[in-house]
Structure 1
């Protein structure tokens, strides 16, 4: 039985704050580790692990579990409810086993394909094959915990995930660092691989302990009787079809999400891949700490709040649910609009100073500085697209998913053409790939927003959504515009001054004063 909307909202907000704290904790640890790692290892090793190995890991996990995970968040609204609640739970459990079954061939094929396609420069690094095998094994450990992850999410036991991931991040960090410090230099790739393996194993053990009261995850056929018909089933039909549709779509979505890493790994030398990885780690810090938890909790909230397609609830309950969902969505979009204004107002004039203070000197000659300048625009678009696609994933029917998949194929072609054209044709290098990603996210967000408008309009609730409610009032926009002009004028005046805090103190004072004014107006 679904929880009341008020308790669901409270649980979702608690989940969101917990995940933000988790991401803050894990990202601080990861940031400190990376500051040490980029000084301990070469850009070539860092590029291999942070671009190519991470891409291999995310490919296995995304293709194996993402579709099933998103479908099962809707288990309480999209299931064909059985008179027997235990039977319904068993059917859902059977569906939750699909990531494990998909993970075995996906991990084996992905690892084999990666080894076959790796360049001689990459594959000639010490212990390369052993590291690839360890990453595939780490992915499979995570997939083994997926049925238990899905159970705890649907039971709103979000603290289980927070504890599991927090512990796993600490152990991964300690393992990687210790192996790098203690082992010979040629074991650098293995250090990262062992850290990831410890992460996957910790996740599996943590969820096993949390679900130790019932670890019966073997698939079982059940008998369901409806009216005068009796069926023998392994999977709940609606959820299974939705899982298949979302898994098929995840192939295209994964390429769009990780397309820049695909292209960087094929087009750029290892040293520039290291620079790209450093820039991505620094540039996406805020996105991972704040926006990713918000996207995940929004997906849970929308999945549990939006009315079931059968519309078996009362009209007033349907209207209230739609209004609640619209309020949450528009509030998030309004907050992201303010953050976008902050980024574009203060990012460009002060980013060069920040880069000179934070980025290790040997990475200043790579593509990292140029990429970080584009992240000013990339991160806000990640936020907009994330929450809008969270709504889409929570409300879309299989037919909607098929339509979106066709559009995503078009977006994929446009992304590749733009990426190659900007990176090579206009000689923008790896920064061109990020600009192509900005355009890609903009198109995807626009498509999801069009779906949101149509979704509410078809349910006679079109009046509860409108773009004006996601845009700040004119006085706020005017203050941000004035602040942007002032800090850019200050930046031009200090253009020939050395990039250090003392020399740039006047420029910094201007920025602080303008920032206070913008925040007060907000």
Structure 2
């Protein structure tokens, strides 16, 4: 039963060493990941269909500018909420255990929910400031471009670019307004609410973007000159605004119902000190800034913010490099290949990464505290107690090994048949104009980058779940070094070797390999400190079976030899025939794996 007076949330502190950590139920995490994967497949399918229709109305230049605006939008959201989201999830994992009484029954969680809501408003404030700052920087850059180029050049910006930028800024603010409800629903593992919100928002975005593009084209064709209403990238901005409105409406609906039921508010509310708590704990008001924000969580978020900035620069670094070293037309070609190449990452890897981050945070929330307690009572503990204390770490190691093994098997399949299927696939879905532009070769190269993207995602999710503030800072320093390596590799591949978009994929691969090595070293040391061997004897079990590797090599060679490449301008029948041949050759390989 909820307390009548709200009590403040306890600070992140070590739990008693005599209390065994309560691990989260694995089936709930698996169901959550499965639901998010199904959601991503459905929403991405709708987005994919809408994008194919949009490509009939777009030029490469418009797609390149739209990509720049999307990077602006994602940057605002990332800088405003990423580090706070991770910190709140880790706070939630610890507080879930603190709220359980000696009888095993969960106490009221209204205080922890209110604390999370209050922290979410920090994201809103940061989002407004970042949107203004980045927006001004972008306006300065396009004004400089206009001064350096003629209005008829390929780099001249399309019409309605500045109004579109304003709409993207408003859309980011609208989406951030849903953050208080989102963080509470995420802490309660309410994946159904997230599925509903993202589904509704995706449908609204697709319908608005496509409808605006089709309407403007028809009005332009109906005008006297045929160019009477060229609205440029405005359909993308309107679609993004519709997406934010959809998220805000659905999250507010579910969040309001949850707040009414559990006795907290979706508006910021002071957390009062109560010395007569049901669990007997007395909290100090000094643990809260302005009696609103949990100080340990704010400190953790601030420590992660530097890492988040570096991580975002590395994640979006390809777009930054392309914008510096190429025209908007080239950016559009790369963006097309990147969108299709990253489809698997958005459909499968992203929901698994988010779910595993939440899962490992809860599973290992008390691990460090238990380890400290074990050192303090080393002489009094027996081998059975030590085994129990290592149970969460052993379980986490096993689950992480399973994820990596599945990713490596997926990598075999992707690299064996993906490069050969890139050209006919792109020619079939986008038409000969895009396939002949160089996007097909870039997509084929991108297939080799997908396995690195997958492994890095789950490895960094684990690091974010368990790393201390000092370790986060240490990782940020290394990430800064990797960003320098990435910049150097990008310059060599793009300017010195003139590798174009393919060279950019190679630079990304070098950067991602560095990040993977760092994460694997951290993971090995983390489990070794807890008496669990992560690699060791299990290293061989992580690798695919030699017969699977041999089947992948044979399949790749057979596809290149038996399926001749068709022209990029070939008709859809030839493209479908080639894809069918590749699929037939892939069946024995899949059965072998």
TM-score normalized by the length of structure 1: 0.92
State whether residues 44 and 271 of structure 1, in contact with CA within 8 Å, keep that contact through their aligned partners in structure 2.
yes
1:246 counterpart residue number: 304
RMSD, aligned α-carbons: 2.9
* Closer, same or farther: CA 416–76 of 1 in aligned 2, 3 Å: same
1:191 counterpart residue number: 235
1:52 counterpart residue number: 68
Moved more, 493-502 or 437-446: 493-502
Structure 2 counterpart SS, 1:39: coil
Q: Does 1:12 align with 2:71?
A: no
Provide structure 1 residue ranges, at least 5 long, that are not aligned to the other structure: none
Structure label with greater radius of gyration = 2
1:102 counterpart residue number: 126
From 490, 509, 517, the counterpart of 2:562: 490
Report the Cα offset of residue 345 of structure 1: 1.3
Report the Cα offset of residue 229 of structure 1: 6.0
Q: Does 1:284 align with 2:327?
A: no
Report the Cα offset of residue 34 of structure 1: 1.1
Report the Cα offset of residue 367 of structure 1: 3.8
State whether residues 26 and 166 of structure 1, in contact with CA within 8 Å, keep that contact through their aligned partners in structure 2.
yes
Give distance in 2, aligned partners of 1:249 and 1:109.
Answer: 20
More helix by share: 1
* Closer, same or farther: CA 27–337 of 1 in aligned 2, 3 Å: same
Structure 1 counterpart SS, 2:25: helix
Residues 260-293 of structure 1 deviation map (CA, whole Å, 9 limit, x = unaligned): 0111122221211111121122211122111111
Match runs of 1:425-444 below 5 Å: 425-444=496-515
Moved more, 303-312 or 135-144: 303-312
Give distance in 1, aligned partners of 2:428 and 2:108.
Answer: 62
Report the Cα offset of residue 232 of structure 1: 6.0
2:141 counterpart residue number: 117
* Closer, same or farther: CA 478–99 of 1 in aligned 2, 3 Å: same
Provide structure 2 residue ranges, at least 5 long, that are not aligned to the other structure: 1-8, 10-14, 100-106, 150-154, 221-228, 260-264, 276-280, 375-384
State whether residues 479 and 521 of structure 1, in contact with CA within 8 Å, keep that contact through their aligned partners in structure 2.
yes
Report the Cα offset of residue 496 of structure 1: 8.9
From 410, 414, 432, the counterpart of 1:343: 414
Match runs of 1:41-440 below 5 Å: 41-49=58-66, 51-78=67-94, 86-118=110-142, 119-120=145-146, 124-183=157-216, 184=220, 185-213=229-257, 214=259, 215-223=265-273, 231=286, 233-234=288-289, 235-308=293-366, 309-311=368-370, 315-440=386-511
2:382 counterpart residue number: none
Number of positions where the alignment pairs a residue of Structure 1 with one of Structure 2: 520
Report the Cα offset of residue 230 of structure 1: 5.7
Report the Cα offset of residue 26 of structure 1: 1.2
* Closer, same or farther: CA 93–262 of 1 in aligned 2, 3 Å: same
Residues 480-509 of structure 1 deviation map (CA, whole Å, 9 limit, x = unaligned): 222223223324x66799956766899767
Structure 1 counterpart SS, 2:437: coil
Report the Cα offset of residue 4 of structure 1: 9.4
Moved more, 323-332 or 183-192: 183-192
Give distance in 2, aligned partners of 1:499 and 1:361.
Answer: 7
Structure 2 counterpart SS, 1:222: coil
State whether residues 97 and 219 of structure 1, in contact with CA within 8 Å, keep that contact through their aligned partners in structure 2.
no
Give distance in 2, aligned partners of 1:201 and 1:414.
Answer: 40
Report the Cα offset of residue 48 of structure 1: 0.7
* Closer, same or farther: CA 137–507 of 1 in aligned 2, 3 Å: closer
Give distance in 1, aligned partners of 2:235 and 2:349.
Answer: 29
Structure 1 counterpart SS, 2:230: helix
Give distance in 1, aligned partners of 2:455 and 2:90.
Answer: 22
State whether residues 336 and 384 of structure 1, in contact with CA within 8 Å, keep that contact through their aligned partners in structure 2.
yes
State whether residues 47 and 274 of structure 1, in contact with CA within 8 Å, keep that contact through their aligned partners in structure 2.
yes
Give distance in 2, aligned partners of 1:107 and 1:498.
Answer: 42
Residues 86-110 of structure 1 deviation map (CA, whole Å, 9 limit, x = unaligned): 5444333322322112111111111
Give distance in 2, aligned partners of 1:362 and 1:446.
Answer: 40
Residues 354-400 of structure 1 deviation map (CA, whole Å, 9 limit, x = unaligned): 33323322223434123202111111111111011110110111111
* Closer, same or farther: CA 364–95 of 1 in aligned 2, 3 Å: same
